[in-house]
Amino acid sequence: METTKDRILNATAELFRRYGYTGTGMKQIVAQAEAPFGSIYHFFPDGKEQLGRDVIRRSGEMYRDLFETIVAAAPDVLTGVQDFFTGAAEVLRQSDYADACPIATVALEVASTSEPLREATADVFESWIAAGAARFAAAGVPRSQARELAIQLIAVLEGAFILCRATRTTEAMDVACAHTLASLRSALPAISTTA
Amino acid sequence: METTKDRILNATAELFRRYGYTGTGMKQIVAQAEAPFGSIYHFFPDGKEQLGRDVIRRSGEMYRDLFETIVAAAPDVLTGVQDFFTGAAEVLRQSDYADACPIATVALEVASTSEPLREATADVFESWIAAGAARFAAAGVPRSQARELAIQLIAVLEGAFILCRATRTTEAMDVACAHTLASLRSALPAISTTA
DNA sequence: GTCTATATTTGGATAGAC
DNA sequence: GTCTATCCAAATATAGAC
């Protein structure tokens, strides 16, 4: 079953994606979570900053898992990465360009105002980089190049989210996908042409 | 001379970069601009939204000009792009990772809350794309590819800003630079090897 | 038209009934 | 330990003296 705490975490994550950290109010959160106001301070005694930190970490894990799942389900890493970008573009369109990355907006907002929150976003990005690098390395890309590719993928994905939300088109995501696939292809070992 | 209105615009632009749109208060703006509180509503009768729109447009133009200036001063477009990325990394380090793109944070924040502001950010990004595409086309890159390259450059630059601010390193910007140069190099016509 | 004092709303957070 | 009523500070915006 879904606990009150989970509803609060999920509501906060959703609101952060659309309105950011400072743009999301505590009252707005409990309203969306259909929870009484006191619950938020019962489960998160240190208030908004603690809630924000937990949401950042949880969202970071969820999206890393999503990446892993999509890539694991694909026949090869190239197709997996393509599916990931295609999925991101699809979510943007279906949500009327509201739902992008749950970390990016908060990361930019809190980088100069809250050291605990900044660290939480840094940890998330580092874990994403490690996960991507491991995947690419497993596919045969040399270690140092694998890390660079992962950083490049995350950077262009996040940048594309910004451009797509602003322009309300998926053009940037499509471009990001094509360029990332090209970079990855040239970094992979020569394909064994079966049949 | 620098008018009161200019001081307000400059102060707002600087604060937006660090704290975002919702994170920047009107009182904070006049304090930094060393202007009386009333001036802000004298020059911007429609309040924060009007001020925000003007700041977005002005910052957008300034950064487009900066790109043009740097590329124009370089011996070739490859060196120009490299100088641009190097400069971005330098500003990040010198400002202790506070000063990144003045548009990105606001763009993510307002995309779902203010249609006038969202449009302003979209206009800025479109003008950047056009400027970059024109530069690349002038250097011999085919038209449609020139636009894609410009989008890719802006996306990876913005994404790198996010990663750099969060991790307080310039690693992502360095990676972004290297990959962008590689993409651009392979899109340029064959270099005439002089001497 | 420059500036100060204030109105009004909303923010995060708390106290205490049950 | 769940929930409501309230507190205090800060937000944007305005009124009106000068």
B95-107 tens-digit pLDDT: 999 999 989 999 9
pLDDT number for residue B190: 75
By residue range, what is the domain housing residue A67? 53-187
Beta strands in chain A (DSSP E): none
CA of A35: how far to CAs of A28, A44, A47, A62, B195, in Å? 10, 13, 15, 23, 74
**CATH number reported for the structural domain that contains residue A85 in this entry:** 1.10.357.10
Q: Is residue B17 in some structural domain? A: no
Distance in Å from D5's C1' to A60's CA comes to: 36
Q: Is residue A15 in some structural domain? A: no
Q: Is residue B3 in some structural domain? A: no
> How large a percentage of chain A has pLDDT more than 70?
97
Q: Is residue A134 in some structural domain? A: yes
Q: Is residue A35 in some structural domain? A: no
User: Which residues of chain A make contact with B92, given a CB cutoff of 8 A?
Assistant: none
DSSP sequence for A27-41: HHHHHHHT--HHHHH
pLDDT band at B2; cut points 50, 70, 90: confident
Q: Average pLDDT for residues A100-124, to the nearest whole number? A: 97
Q: Is residue B66 in some structural domain? A: yes
pLDDT number for residue A104: 98
Nearest-5° Cα angle at B72, B66 to B76: 125
Q: Is residue B179 in some structural domain? A: yes
Q: Which two tokens stand for residue B86?
A: 């190097």
Q: Is residue B162 in some structural domain? A: yes
- The residue type at A186: S
Measure the CA–CA gap between A18 and A23, rounded to whole angstroms.
9
pLDDT at residue B116 tops 60:
yes
Distance in Å from C17's C1' to A37's CA comes to: 15
Measure the CA–CA gap between B10 and B76, rounded to whole angstroms.
32
Q: Looking at the 3D structure of chain A, how many domains does it have?
A: 1
Measure the CA–CA gap between B97 and B66, rounded to whole angstroms.
19
Q: Are A31 and A14 in contact (CB under 8 A)?
A: no
Residue B103 neighbours by CB distance under 10 Å: 25
pLDDT at residue A192 tops 70:
no
Q: Average pLDDT for residues A76-101, to the nearest whole number? A: 97
Measure the CA–CA gap between B26 and B148, rounded to whole angstroms.
38
Angle, helix B48-73 to helix B4-19, in steps of 10 degrees: 80
Among all residues of chain B, which has the CA nearest to that of A169? B122
